[in-house]
Amino acid sequence: MSTWLGRRDATAKLLAALLVTAAVVSTLDPVASLTVIGALLAALPLTGVSPAALLRRGWPILASAAGIFVFTVLLGARDSPVLAHLSLGGAGLDVRENAVGYALRLLAIGLPGFVVFATIDPTDLADSLVAHLRVSPRFAIGALAALRLAPLLADEYRLIRLARRARGTRAGLFSTLFGLLVAAIRRGIRLATAMEARGFDRGGARTIARETHFGWSDVSVIVAGLALAAAVIVLKFAGT
C-alpha cells in the first residue's frame, strides 16, 4: 500500500497490535479503552482506510458491542428480576458502568486487528513471517492462502442464500452458515491438494522471492504500540 502504515513491515504491525490487544484485555476501564479507540482513529489517515470504509467493514464489531451493552444491562443485575431492568433507568450504576466497559473493550480489542490487517498484503505477511520470525514456510504459505480466500466467504454466503431461495428452501441463518462451512471445507481440501501437487509440501528449504527489510520506521511502529499498551496499563492502575 502507498500509505505510511501500509509500507511498514507486517511483523512490526502484528507485534504492535498484539501488545495493544493484550493490554486492553487485562482491563475493564472505559477510559483505557477510549484511549486506544481514540489513538487508532487519530492514526486512521496513516492507514488509507476512510471512516466510511471502517464503518462498512467494522459494523459486526459495533453490533456485537451494542449487543453486549444491552445484555449486560438486562442480565447484569443480581438484586431484582430481569424484567425490572428493561430500561437504563432501572439498572444500577455499577451495571451500566460494566456494560459500557465491556462494550468499549470489545471495540478496543477489535479495532487494532482491523487496522493492521487492512494495511497488510497477504504476500508481504507470509514473506515477513518467514524472514523475521523464522516461521515455517508451510505455515506461512497456508496463512497466505487463508487470507487470500477470506474475502470469498462473503460472496459464498450470498450465493448460498440466493440458491436456497431459488429452490424454495428457507434460508435460515444457521443452515446457511452450515452450508458455508461445508463449502469452505471443500474449497480448503481442493486448495491443499493443488498446493501439494505443486510441491508446497516437500518440507525442504524454500527461497524468498522478495526480500523484506526491517528498518527504524518499522521499529517505531512497535514502539508506538508499546507506548499505547503502557498507557492502558497506567490508566488501569490509576482507575483502581
Cell reading at 192: 491443499
CA-CA distance, 188 to 63, in Å (whole number)?
29
Across 64-68, 83-87, 205-209, least confident range: 83-87
Query: Counting Cβ atoms within 10 Å, is residue 83 exposed (0-12), middle (13-18) or buried (19+)?
Result: exposed
101: closest CA among 42, 55, 38, 32? Answer: 32
For the full predicted model, state whether its pTM sits above 0.85.
no
- What is the model's pLDDT at position 20? 93
- What is the model's pLDDT at position 156? 85
CA-CA distance, 108 to 128, in Å (whole number)?
26
7 φ, ψ to 5°? -85, -10
CA-CA distance, 60 to 65, in Å (whole number)?
9
Q: What is the mean pLDDT of residues 159-186?
A: 82
- What is the model's pLDDT at position 232? 92
Specify which of 16-25, 123-132, 141-150, 157-166 reaches the highest per-range mean pLDDT: 16-25
Yes or no: say if 218 and 9 are a contact pair by the CB < 8 Å rule: yes
157: closest CA among 177, 128, 136? Answer: 177
12 pLDDT more than 80: yes
Q: What is the pLDDT of residues 141-156, one digit of tens each?
A: 777 887 788 778 878 8
Tell which wins on pLDDT, 1 or 224. 224
CA-CA distance, 42 to 53, in Å (whole number)?
15
Q: What is the mean pLDDT of residues 70-81?
A: 63
- What is the model's pLDDT at position 71? 80
Tell which wins on pLDDT, 222 or 6. 222
- What is the model's pLDDT at position 197? 79
134 φ, ψ to 5°? 55, 40
Tell which wins on pLDDT, 234 or 171. 234
Specify which of 88-102, 157-171, 214-228 reaches the highest per-range mean pLDDT: 214-228
Q: What is the pLDDT of residues 77-118, one digit of tens each?
A: 554 444 444 444 444 556 777 888 888 999 999 898 888 888
Parse the chain into domains and list their residue ranges.
10-239
